[in-house]
Amino acid sequence: MLQKFVSKSVSFPDISVQMLPKASVNLPTVSLMTFGAPLLVAIAYVYFLQFLTVILVSEKETHVKEHMLMMGMRESAYW
């Protein structure tokens, strides 16, 4: 059945493949400042976050806010 529709005079297109030209890549030199500065900022942030968490948890454990409210301090002044 397929033989009826296929013709022997079919020609395939001439297809060729070639690489596109590209410029050479010059990789920048990695200095200590390029790698070290973001790492230092991340470490400082983690240390600050740990310090802040310890302070908040200790305030919650000792009920500092509730005691200051009992002494007459307004809640808006606490924050």
How large a percentage of the chain has pLDDT more than 70?
86
pLDDT of residue 49: 95
Handedness of CA 55, 56, 57, 61 (dihedral sign): positive
Q: Is the pTM of this model over 0.85?
A: no
Cα–Cα distance for residue pair 78/59, rounded to 1 Å: 12
Please say if the pLDDT value at position 2 is more than 60.
no
Q: pLDDT grade, residue 60 (50/70/90)?
A: confident
Give SS3 for 14.
coil
pLDDT digits (tens, 9 = 90+) for 29-45: 777 777 888 899 999 99
User: Per-domain residue ranges for the chain?
Assistant: 50-79
